[in-house]
A and B are shown apart, each in its own frame.
Chain A
Amino acid sequence: MGTVIIDGQEVELKDGERLNCIQLAARVQNDIPRYCWHPGLTVVASCRMCLVQIGKKDPKTGEISITPKLVPGCQTLVSDGMVIVTTSDEVKNSRAMVEEDLLLRHPVDCPICDKAGECYLQDYHFQYGRDERRADIKPFTSRRREMGDTITLFVDRCVMCTRCVRFTREISGTNEMMIIDRGARDEIDVFPGFPLANKLSGNVADICPVGALCDKEFLYEQRVWYMKSHDNVCAGCSTGCSIFVHENQERIYRLMPRENQQINQWWMCDDGRYGWKHVHDEQRVTTPRKREGDTYTNIEWSPLLAGLDATLKNAKRLAVVLSPMLTVEEAYLLAKYARTIDEHALIAVGYVPVEGEDETFKSGFTIRAEKCPNRLGVSKVASHFQGELVAWSDLPARLASETFDALWLTGGYGHAWLADDMAATLVNIPTLIVQDMFTSAAYEAATYQLPGASFAEREGSYVNHADRLQSFQWAIRPPQGVQPEGRVYWQLLKLPGLYNGRRVMEDLAREIVYFAAAQQPVPPTGVDLKVNLLAAQPAGATV
C-alpha cells in the first residue's frame, strides 16, 4: 500500500507492486517519453529521455522536498510518499536537449524512411523538441548494413537505445547483435559470419523506436499511415499469438505482434510474421464449381448451396471432416448442419500438420510443432457431437468399415496437405464436397468445389494449446468468388441475418461445457477455458 503523487495527482499503489515511474505515469494517461526502456527487456537507462524530477513528501509536515538532480524514470521504482514531477521546466529542457542531441547526426530522411508515422523520434521531437536546429553540421549520410536475411540496418538513423541487442540476449538468447566502437562512434552490428538468423528476428524491427532496423519484407512496400490495423490471431501454430493484421485495400502488408501477457507477451515468430503470403497467392481457388458427369460448371453461390442442400438431404450416411484451421464457431455450425441432415453423421477432425519439435527460446516463447491454430477447439466440438474423438488417422478405417453417401472435407491450409493415399480413399465417396483454399487431388475430384477463406478473412475464435480462447473479426474481405466458411454454414442452416461469430459462440458456450467461459464477451487477450472448468469439475475429473 502507498500513495505516489505525480504532477499533483495522487495514485494509489497496490500491495507488493513494483512499478517504475513510466508505468506509474501510464496509469494516469501521462506518457513519459522513452527510447531504451521496453517493458519486456531489462533496464539500461541509457537514452536519458525519461528523466523526471522526484522528491519526497514529509508525512508529518506535508512538506515536499525535490531532489536537485533529474533521475531516469525507467530505473526509479516508485515507493510510498514519493513525488514525481514531469511537467517542470527542468524536465522539458532535458527532453529538448536529448532530442537535439539525437538529431545531431540523424539523417532526417523521414520521407523515405519506413518508420515515419510510427517513429518515436518523430513523435517526441514534435512534442518535446526545439523548433529549429542550432547545429550547422550536416552529416546527412544514410549507410545501410545487412543484419541477416530478414532485417536491414540504416546505421545513421540509430539512436543507440540497444533494445535490439538486449532482445537477442534476453528473449531469443542468440546474442547475434552487439555494439561496436565506443562513445559517439558506437554502432549496432553483427559479428562477421554470424548474421541475425533466429526465428524471432522480425521482432527487432518492431521494437526499434526509430527507422534503423527495417523489415526487408516490408521495406518500401507501404507507408504506415495508409494501413488499417485489425486485431487478429496468428494461425501459424497452436501457440496462437495475438497479432495485428495491417492491411490497405484488402491487401495484407504485414503482421505485427499484439501484447498479450498470457500468450506471446510482445513477440511473435518469423514463421507467423511472414506466413501470410498464401492469402494473396495467385493459385488460390476462387470459383465455386459443381460437377455434372465429368465436366465442371461454374455456379453462383446461392444456387450452388440450394443444390448442395438438396443433394445432402437425399444422402443417407454423411461424414464431415472439420479442419483444425476452422474457427470453433465454423466447426460447430458445420457439425450442427451435418447432424440436422443425418443424426448419426460422422464428425471427424481433419489433418493436423506437425513439423519438427516445439522450439522454446530463452524467454520461454515457444513455437509449437503443431502448425494449426485450433486443433483443441475443433476436437472439442467434434467429440461433443460424436461422443468420441475421430481423428484424421482414424478416418480411413471408418470409411472402410461403413459406406458413406457424402463427405464434406474442409481444408484452409496455406500449403499442399492432402496425402495421395488419403485422396484415393476419399474420391470413392459418391458425393464429395471439398472446401479449401488450394486445389488438391480430392478437390479435383469433388462433386462440389467450394473455395474457402484464409485466416485473415475468417471471424470466430481459436483455442490454443493451453486452452485459451481468443475471438477475432475478419481483417480483409475474401477475394471475389470466395465465401468464408462461417457464412456458408450460416446460410445452409437458414439462420436469420448475417453470420455473426459472437452469436454462435453464445449458443455454443451454452451447449458445450468446455466453452462455458466464453459465454460472456471475450476480452482482447482471450479467456482461459481451463480455469473455469477446473472450478466447476470435481477434483480428479478429466476435462
Chain B
Amino acid sequence: MRSDDPNITWIKEPELRLAGRMYLPLFAEGLATTFRHMAKAITNPVTVSYPEEEPDIGNPLIYRGVHRLNRDEQGRVRCVACFMCATACPAYCIDIIGAESPWPDREKYPESFTIDELRCIYCGMCEEACPVDAIELTSLYNLTGRSREEMIFDKEKLLSVYDVTKDQEPTKSTRMGVKAPS
C-alpha cells in the first residue's frame, strides 16, 4: 500500500487541553484506572494454576499456537512454495525447498518445508503472508519436546498437525466465511 493511497485516513494526535496542561487531573485519572484494574484482578483473577488447570484460550481464530500445513480437497499439501512466509518471518525459522510439482494442475510445490519451533516467536506473520491459506497457527499451546531435533518440524509433521486438529479447527478462511481458493 502506498502512502498516498486514498483508502488511508491520516489523523493527528489531539492537542492537550487545559486539564492536560495542568498535569494533576489527568494524572489522577490514570491512577484511578490502574486501581480499578487492580481491584478487578484481585476479585476475579485471570491467571490459572497450570498444569493442574487448563487455561481458556478464547478465540481460536486469533490464537497463535503450533503451526500446521493445510491439505487441499485431494489431500495434497496446499503450499505452493512461494516463500512468502519465509520472507515475512522475522525469526528466520522457516526453511523451504521448492520444486516442480508432480501434479498436472500445479506448477510448484514444497519438496521440503521445515519450521524450527524453538526459533519461532509465534508472531503469525507467516499465516498473514500466505496467499493460499496453507500455513496456519493452531490453538495448541502446550508444545514440548525432549531434544532440539524433535522441535524442528518437517513437512510430514506439520501436515500431521493438520490431520489431528482439522476436526476441532477447520481452516481459518472457511471459519471466517471466505471461500477457500481453488
Contacts and interface: CB of A to CB of B under 8 A. Distances in A.
Query: Majority SS of interface residues in chain B?
Result: loop
Contacts of B82: 111-112
Interface string B42-86: 000000000000000000000000000000000000001111100
B112 interface: no
Contacts of A507: none
Interface in B3-55: 5
A112 B5 contact: no
A225 B107 contact: no
Nearest to B131: A111
Interface size grouping (class) on chain A: 10 to 19
Contacts of B87: 223, 225-226
A220 B100 contact: yes
A460 B5 CA distance: 49
B175 to A, nearest CB: 23
A357 interface: no
Contacts of B84: 111
Contact of A220 (B5, B98, B131, B132): B98
Contacts of B80: 111-112
Interface residues of B, number: 14
Contacts of B91: none
A109 B108 CA distance: 11
Contacts, number: 26
Contacts of B131: 111
B83 to A, nearest CB: 5
B99 A220 contact: yes
Contacts of A144: 107
Nearest to B106: A112
Interface string A102-121: 00000001011000000000
Contacts of A131: 5
A219 interface: yes
A220 B111 CA distance: 11
A342 B108 CA distance: 61
Contacts of B98: 220-221
A253 to B, nearest CB: 12
Contact of B108 (A220, A225, A226): A220
Interface of A: 109, 111-112, 131, 142, 144, 219-221, 223, 225-226
Interface of B: 5, 80-84, 87, 98-100, 107-108, 131-132
Given A109-B107, A144-B107, A220-B100, 8 more contacts: A111-B82, A111-B132, A112-B81, A112-B108, A142-B107, A221-B98, A223-B87, A226-B87
